[in-house]
Structure 1
Amino acid sequence: MKFDIHTHHDRCGHARGTIRDYIEAAIEKGLNIIGISDHSPYFSSEEDQLYPHIAMGKSEFPKYINEVLQLKQLYSGKIEVLLGVESDFFPEDVDRYRSCYNAYPFDYIIGSVHHVDGISIFKKDRWDGLTEQQKIQTKETYYNLIEQSARSGMFQILGHIDAMKGYYPSFSTIQTKAVEHTLKVIGEHDIAIEINTSGKTKDVGGWYPSDEILEIACFYGVKVTFGSDAHDPNRVGDEFELVQKHLKEIGFKEWVYYKNRKRMNVIL
């Protein structure tokens, strides 16, 4: 069973290709399942499309849903298409986002923290001039937000849970007990984390999360899934087999995907 649950397309403004392009790429690469999970709109904004190069407009959201559902039917028998979304997590707006999602038949929702203290986690200079204590506090705030997202009950999957290292590789060396605590909470709430291979497109290289985090996740019984986080059809399913092999080496016995928000277990 070969799957990829994390893909984007041109609606978000920073990915290349249509939804159909990603489905066709998945078929070409021999995938059994392809999940479409573009970036959620900023539902709490008064503007339709607050950041045109980051996320789709609110008016596009129903069109996105309908297109995925139509393609799910069109490609039935060729590949299973899953309806997902990568949702930003803002604690103050959980109820608003939840109500937007509950209106649609999602197979799964990926919860991702993209902002800490109001600043993008991918802003390259956000670490400049910070003291070691401020760096620790920033990391702890990040993992507190991830913990809150796990407790929210809104998500089946948590996305790229150490992506702050993307343009700041030293992030992984900042010592704090918050990481292990957060993984323990994720395990207790029976939510999956993704192994996301898009780290290779950033300064850090490699995958999200680190081996250290995966080993702790395995200890706490955290479920894992696979996502390329493709923003180009060429990256669909990227390094699936390598991730599969490495998870076995760490000690995982299975990984998961979701249909109708229910977990499907797959032996590694």
Structure 2
Amino acid sequence: MSNLTNYHSHCLYCDGRANMEDFIRFAISEDFSSYGISSHAPLPFSTAWTMEWDRMNDYLCEFSRLKKKYADKIELAIGLEIDYLNEESHPALPCFQELPLNYRIGSVHMLYSPEGKVVDIDTSADTYRQLIDMHFGGDIEQVVRLYYKNLLRMVELGGFDIVGHADKMHYNASCYRPGLLDEVWYDTLVRDYFAEIARRGYIIEINTKSYRDLGTFYPNERYFPFLKELGVRVQVNSDAHYPERINNSRHEALLALRKAGFETVTEWHKGKWEEIPINL
């Protein structure tokens, strides 16, 4: 199978479980044509899952060393997954734009609760339920609307190439309130968000991280035909934290894209993004 690429992976510089070289060597062993490292970018506060600024130079230097070492075996690219948190912390800030990166992924993992507490909503469904009840009074509609408001603001501000796990909340939100995904207000919210992504020309990743365990892609497969209608560029990424998971559910994602009418995916070749035919 061709289309063996991945641009969303996390190594030991953030919350990944192996060093950068292990991911690259595994990609080579799997015959990947190109591969990208995208550690979680620093936040204004320390977390267990993001990089610290004092490691940034080492991150870039280590990638440069490995890119030279494996230049005859695979094309490598360096990026960051950068969170939109608020108007003072987002991908478009100069501190991120001035870094010598090949690409940037824009994502939302956290929301501010009504009392001003940062709440990580990228959790298991059970933990998500507890957090919504504890910090948002069980108002799932408020949480979903805030999530998409932040995503839309991130898209407006820009500063990135790829929208990370574009609607990741959909699984947890639907577990919290079954049937929510079929409610008119929710569908309108998501379609408006995707339309704005298309208008601004960003790539949307088909994130396969949860497909084996939860049976879902991010974005939700039900919107693949709409993304095709909008003319959005797509790529398949596994959001891998372990080297052996870099190729997880790629084939299933490509099949789903083909079923929705997509004929190409966006890949990094010769130092730029190119549209490559889906070859199953």
- Partner residue, 1:263: 273
**1:167 positional shift:** 4.4
2-side partners of 1:96 and 1:196: how far apart? 19
Q: Percent identity?
A: 27
* Structure 2 residue ranges without an equivalent (≥5): 113-117
- Partner residue, 1:84: 79
**1:88 positional shift:** 0.8
The residue matched to 2:194 in structure 1 has which SS? Answer: helix
**1:170 positional shift:** 2.7
TM-score w.r.t. length of structure 1: 0.88
The residue matched to 1:194 in structure 2 has which SS? Answer: strand
**1:201 positional shift:** 6.6
Note closer, same or farther for the CA distance 1:200–1:242 as it changes in structure 2 (3 Å cut).
closer
CA-to-partner distance for each residue in 1:178-218, whole Å, 9 max, x for gaps? 1000000000000011111112376x343211112222222
**1:7 positional shift:** 0.6
2-side partners of 1:261 and 1:167: how far apart? 37
CA-to-partner distance for each residue in 1:218-242, whole Å, 9 max, x for gaps? 2211111111100011101212222
The residue matched to 1:193 in structure 2 has which SS? Answer: strand
Note closer, same or farther for the CA distance 1:108–1:8 as it changes in structure 2 (3 Å cut).
same
* Structure 1 residue ranges without an equivalent (≥5): none
1-side partners of 2:90 and 2:207: how far apart? 27
The residue matched to 2:131 in structure 1 has which SS? Answer: coil
Is 2:113 aligned against 1:112? Answer: no
Counterparts of 1:1-268 in structure 2, within 5 Å, are 1-12=3-14, 14-42=15-43, 44-45=44-45, 50-51=46-47, 53-94=48-89, 98-117=93-112, 118-123=118-123, 124=127, 125-128=130-133, 134-170=139-175, 173-174=179-180, 175=183, 176=186, 177-200=188-211, 204-258=214-268, 262-268=272-278
1-side partners of 2:209 and 2:97: how far apart? 29
Which has the larger displacement, 235-244 or 117-126?
117-126
- Partner residue, 2:115: none
CA-to-partner distance for each residue in 1:60-105, whole Å, 9 max, x for gaps? 1121111112211111010111111111112312578621222222
Number of matched residues?
259
Q: 8 Å contact 1:8–1:37 — kept in the other structure?
A: yes
The two structures, once aligned, show a CA RMSD in angstroms of 2.3
TM-score w.r.t. length of structure 2: 0.84
Q: 8 Å contact 1:121–1:163 — kept in the other structure?
A: no
Q: AA paired with 1:187?
A: A
